[in-house]
Structure 1
């Protein structure tokens, strides 16, 4: 492919006048050519190995009507593909496969648990993917097609999309595990309120990711078991491998959540032990000085006939010696009782 024939750089422009974000016609050999919106609407399967893939902005007006008129998608299904009902699911509708999948949100300023939905429809000759917010997975697959090492047919395209979605989930899980390891090293000697905030964030992310990934496991299982005949056996094996990896990631999420909980309990236990130790020291100090405070308070009242108050009685040194003797006796007693 010459530089002049390179496809245009893929961008996610939410303010474009057309619903098409990008389009490709797969050549059946791992490559593809770019198509615009007009060509995508006129496209007909010319060569048996060719497959049309268009990536649409589902919030664009008219997308639902286009799905119904140009792809013969039933109205309820078209409404599902363009709606905000983004819980992962998949089902077969005649010779078409319909799915809603979710991927990690790696957009700037977003949290990983804010997962993005990717709607998908395919009849074997055409693959239509739809999204609302920018999602990197379709662009990665399109880049591989532009370099000639992408999927060859509709089934391989769907498996490539699911594999990229799951791969990017693993990045978020690895980052959480690395953060837990760092926090465990930090809390070996000390901890702070920021540490507890980080642990709470990890627990929240783990719960959110599992809430979305568990139904995605069911959706991929539905694709592997109920996809139409054009979804070939090797595609089902690829999906089965993706399901196994997703299952491992779900187990990793459980481990991350439990590790964060153990770490949080350990920090709280240390904080409680430090508080108890401080209270114990304060109680010992208060017990030591209570008799001394009583004596000094009694002799310090402003009334007549205070003992040892007359000049020449050496009252200060007598009281000081008495307090020192009481202090020594108290310390000896506490030592024998093994209070410190």
Structure 2
């Protein structure tokens, strides 16, 4: 089982082994487990002696952002970006947190980028109690995710600037990827905002006023990102429709060119087919100038059809 622990006293953090975490006497003991469900369940149930419903919540396979008050503590599930490439239907990895006065247990199944930032904050002395630690997680997750959401909007801006019928397929692939990512992120950000707001409103002396302010700020940031993702999703749909129109216009133009070419060659085909028949008594078939005359008639017909289409402004549509 992999993970780490911290003992924090008066803002001073000391890294400790997981096996020594439970015996530590400090203002705050943080234990983070990065492992599969079976190993985490065994340690949390047998060593940490947490209640079964807390252990089940910390090690559940399928999770969504939520917050629940349980006794004197609170369970919080958050989602953030992972160091690994995740499935397109589940773009964010989860961190499950159980907090009571003096102790915080966190569990991740996939490596979470925000964990490293929270470690740095703990080592700098920015974390003194469970409320500080949870606020650090919420802030780190939203701070890490914000540039990624902004990057999706920038990609759409680039697509809008490069709208061209010649690049329809390339742009459609980009827009589709942005739209899928926006839907995947928004799926978790709305419940994450609600979870942070609920935690900030929970009673308990282990959450200080400044912790509640930080949680509320993280919730507001999550709400803003959710709104931006909704805007990105709508913009993606509009750009996709525009690209579809450009593609249809491109096909119409090509069809028009083919139709014009067919109209030019239709009378020529009739004339050459008529004189290509292997029958007797074709008019002027034996005259030496007949071939030149037919070629001249064909050229005249072609020029006449083209001039007619130009006067009707069929070209360039």
TM > 0.5: yes
1:33 to partner: Cα distance: 0.7
In the aligned structure 2, how far is the partner of 1:106 from the partner of 1:20?
16
Partner residue in 1 for 2:314 = 339
Aligned partners of 1:20 and 1:54 also within 8 Å = no
In the aligned structure 2, how far is the partner of 1:54 from the partner of 1:307?
103
SS state at 2:127 partner: coil
Superimposed CA distance per residue, residues 243-267 of structure 1 (whole angstroms, 9 cap, x where no aligned partner) = 1111110111112222222222222
SS state at 2:167 partner: coil
Summarize the alignment of residues 210-225 of structure 1 with structure 2, pairs less than 5 Å apart.
210-225=186-201
Aligned partners of 2:82 and 2:110 also within 8 Å = no
The answer to whether residue 16 in structure 2 is matched with residue 21 in structure 1 is no
Summarize the alignment of residues 288-303 of structure 1 with structure 2, pairs less than 5 Å apart.
288-303=264-279
In the aligned structure 2, how far is the partner of 1:114 from the partner of 1:203?
13
SS state at 1:260 partner: helix
Partner residue in 1 for 2:24 = 43
Summarize the alignment of residues 150-169 of structure 1 with structure 2, pairs less than 5 Å apart.
150-169=126-145
**CA gap 1:168/1:316 in 2 versus in 1, 3 angstroms:** same
SS state at 1:84 partner: coil
In the aligned structure 2, how far is the partner of 1:273 from the partner of 1:66?
64
Superimposed CA distance per residue, residues 270-303 of structure 1 (whole angstroms, 9 cap, x where no aligned partner) = 1111111111122122112211110111111112
Summarize the alignment of residues 281-292 of structure 1 with structure 2, pairs less than 5 Å apart.
281-292=257-268
Partner residue in 2 for 1:329 = 304
Partner residue in 2 for 1:85 = 62
Partner residue in 1 for 2:15 = 34
In the aligned structure 1, how far is the partner of 2:13 from the partner of 2:74?
22
**CA gap 1:202/1:249 in 2 versus in 1, 3 angstroms:** same
Partner residue in 2 for 1:316 = 291
TM-score, normalised relative to structure 2: 0.91
SS state at 1:151 partner: coil
Superimposed CA distance per residue, residues 42-101 of structure 1 (whole angstroms, 9 cap, x where no aligned partner) = 1234xxxx1101101352645335434555532122112112131111111111111111
Residue range with higher mean Cα deviation, 61-70 or 213-222: 61-70
Q: Between Structure 1 and Structure 2, how many residues are aligned?
A: 314
In the aligned structure 2, how far is the partner of 1:332 from the partner of 1:20?
80
Task: Output the aligned Cα RMSD.
Answer: 2.2
From 225, 232, 247, give the equivalent of 2:208.
232
Aligned partners of 2:79 and 2:192 also within 8 Å = yes
Residue range with higher mean Cα deviation, 54-63 or 154-163: 54-63
Residue range with higher mean Cα deviation, 157-166 or 62-71: 62-71
In the aligned structure 1, how far is the partner of 2:186 from the partner of 2:260?
50
Partner residue in 1 for 2:112 = 135
Partner residue in 1 for 2:223 = 247
Aligned partners of 1:25 and 1:52 also within 8 Å = yes
In the aligned structure 2, how far is the partner of 1:331 from the partner of 1:126?
85
In the aligned structure 2, how far is the partner of 1:192 from the partner of 1:134?
37
The answer to whether residue 245 in structure 2 is matched with residue 269 in structure 1 is yes
In the aligned structure 2, how far is the partner of 1:326 from the partner of 1:136?
73
The runs of 5 or more residues in structure 1 that have no matched partner are: 1-18
TM-score, normalised relative to structure 1: 0.85
SS state at 2:131 partner: helix
SS state at 1:42 partner: coil
The runs of 5 or more residues in structure 2 that have no matched partner are: none
From 59, 68, 78, give the equivalent of 1:101.
78
In the aligned structure 2, how far is the partner of 1:132 from the partner of 1:102?
12
In the aligned structure 1, how far is the partner of 2:161 from the partner of 2:313?
34
